[in-house]
Amino acid sequence: MERTDSETQHQGVQDPGARLAVLRTEHRDLDTAIDALRSMAAPDQLQLARLKKRKLRLKDEIAVLEDMRVPDIIA
């Protein structure tokens, strides 16, 4: 059975550089969504919290992928 592109992305098999670009885009999109939700007269606090939590998870995953790209240098 062949895997679809989305299945490959979710299982971490995708190229780390491409995955990093996807995560950065999603992180930026979450910024926009959070700002839009905050600007509403009565923002949904639960949805806002979920978006912020997702954004933090993305930030952590981005940091891990960036660390993988930089080789350790033994001094």
**Does 7 have pLDDT greater than 80?**
no
Give the three-state DSSP class for 74.
coil
| Domain annotation covers residue 28 | yes
Distance CA 11, CA 31 (A): 25
The Cα-based distances of 10 to 36, 50, 61 in angstroms read 27, 20, 12
| Domain annotation covers residue 7 | no
| Domain annotation covers residue 26 | yes
pTM value > 0.75? no
Q: Which residues fall within 8 angstroms of residue 68, CB to CB, at 6 or more apart?
A: 16
| Domain annotation covers residue 6 | no
| Domain annotation covers residue 74 | no
| Domain annotation covers residue 33 | yes
What's the domain count of the chain? Answer: 1
| Domain annotation covers residue 75 | no
pLDDT of residue 75: 63
| φ and ψ at residue 74, rounded to 5 degrees | -90, 120
User: Residue 25: which domain range?
Assistant: 15-69
pLDDT of residue 8: 44
Q: What's the pLDDT band for 34 if we cut at 50, 70, 90?
A: very high
